Structure 1
Amino acid sequence: MNDRLVSIASQFALEGEILDITPVGEGFINDTYRIHTVGSAPDYILQRKNGNIFKDVPAMMENIRKVTEHIRRKVIAAGGDPDREVMRVIPTRTGRLCHRDEGGEHWAATLFIDDTVTYDRADSPALARMGGIGIGHFQSQLADFDEPLAETIPGFHDIRHRFAQWDRTLSLDAAGRCREAAEEIGWIEARRDEMLAFWRLVEEGVIPRHVTHNDTKISNFLFDRQGNVLCVIDLDTVMNSTSLNDFGDAIRTYANTGAEDDRDLARVGMSMEFFTAYTDGYLSQHARELSEAERAYLAFSARYITYEQVLRFLMDYLDGDTYYKIRSADHNLVRTRAQYRLLRSMEEQYGAMCEAVRELNAKYNR
């Protein structure tokens, strides 16, 4: 066993003796491990939080505590199992929500939810629909949440903030890559006004803000063996924003016929079948709580979030790959081009997307 990881894990109020600690997944941002315990004691998830991205980890963990406790009360009231249907934060032995090691890194622990299934992508319309049910239910559970939340990543889905970063990136050209990426830079600039016009509606309150997850890819859901959404995980980015961010980001990942970093752009596009299935699941849980403006911009939110991701991948490439983990020197550029192909597919099918939303809104608002 890794003695350092054992020492860190021992700072938390765990039941049982630690048997082993093994890596889990390959996250872009954090490092995640499973703590295996001896005998009948539960296992746990141990995670190193990326301090370069999350500047105030204690505040982030306080957000997670507030939101999970709110959902836990809802689950208990509904007769569910709160240790399977909502994350449980494990405090340190001194009662803190995270541990800071000797190197200044922050670590957090949660209860491991056993006998679950995870997916890297939605491989069927039925699974996409279940994902829609999951995030729709999550937002519905938090519709009456009224506690303040810290902004864990300032301006996370705020395109005005992103453009301020973008303009600095172009002016500095830190990695000397702007000239070679002139075409890709043009993709961003051609849509600047349209994206700012949408975000202005959020700034003015026409599109309201709620508690949102802000990273709704399918790998952030645990499913039971019957294929039902069991629990929403990875709540590091939970904060107040428009609920449209969650919808749009889910479509960006669920309905993509290719991979997020696909080098073969012929494989990349948005599946209308998957879009409709996800939207059906989402609105089945949350349609009546959405405002008229939210319904009107539901389809556009997929274009907005996908555009933002094109910008962020390209910006990281131009900055010299300082944010996302990469597997090759051009990984962020590959991601940029794949996400742009997905965006173009959405633009080409936008009329059909809007019609599907109208029909499903009518179905669930009768």
Structure 2
Amino acid sequence: MSDALTTGDEIRIEPVSDKRGRAAFVDCGRAFSDRLPNFVPQIRSEQIELVDPAKNPFFGHARVQLFIARRAGQPAGRISAHIDELALAMPADQGFGPGTGFFGYFDAEDEDVARALLATAEAWLVAQGMRRAVGPISLSIWEEPGLLVSGQCHPPMIMMGHHPAHYAGWIEAAGYTRAKTLYTYDLDITHTFNPLIQRIIKSGQRNERINLRRVDKGRWDDEVAIILAILNDAWSDNWGFVPFSPAEVAYAGKKLRPIIHEELNMIAEVDGRPVAFMLTFPDVNDALAKIRGKLFPFGWITMLRWLRHPRGAGMRVPLMGVLKELHNSRMASQLAFMMIEEIRLQATGKFQSTRGELGWVLEDNQGMVAIADTIASKVNREYAIYQRTLG
């Protein structure tokens, strides 16, 4: 690391430029996370991989600079500044677009460090020609978007961030305003749904045009391509949407395969054509909490057993989608309820699960909010994405 920037009498901001620096960046974040009640340690090597340009295909369409703050030589915080070329190409009215850069991986010892880190990230973005900063998003919108502002009282589920509540005040004090709120919804899956939903489901089951099928891991690459094609269409008008690149599709498929159980992941077909999907992941944080995020020397045994049969695990639905041509139609909600019910039965039956989590869901995604409300789920976490004009 070189070209350190000194801000104030004690705080020194160092840009990360090599393998050793990336490891230090990850370790800094892990040290902050270890202080938080209910945090679940993640696997260090996987965290390092996410910030490695040689391994994470996000870097194939992004410029990224990582920074570590030090005080008296000791790590005092960290931040990323990054520009996603695919996000720059999106329409401005969808949240990103030309001139929009990002910050992420935000941790700080106190407000002075927070302000110095944000100012450093902003200066880097301005030097790159950006006029607006949005964050925290670490690194992709599809990875860990938003700052946890409500819901610290329970552990996060798989692929969701966990942050202390006071970070929000520091970011807002630096001139940021909330651009969007994301929700996750908690659901007791041991109860059947209300009679109206049951009638909608049964009506769909009688419809010969509709076929619900499990994802087939025997032809996993083909299934991933189907799911991502539906996702890129279904979400294309959503705030913050950025399409997956082909390299990211392949990468996501490889990373997700070990936690995929066919019974928990569905593709819906109408007249033989895939039109909707729902992915459900057993909450690997259940196992990671037991091994404290360490595979060695013996944690891998616990992890392997859990992956084979995650008995009693919480279930998270991170992604679902219906082709745009069916949006706002009765069939769209019918397909959603049918998939939710089938997965609920499998989760409670085969895996003895008792709770599920939907999300994240955009605050103004009326269709998904309505579905979440109809099945009697409750908001259990709130994430904020902030923005600030630069210059």
TM-score tier by shorter-chain length is under 0.3
Q: Identify the structure with the greater helix proportion.
A: 1
Give the TM-score normalised by the residue count of structure 1.
0.27
* Greater RCO (CA < 8 Å, at least 6 residues apart): 2
TM-score normalized by structure 2?
Answer: 0.26
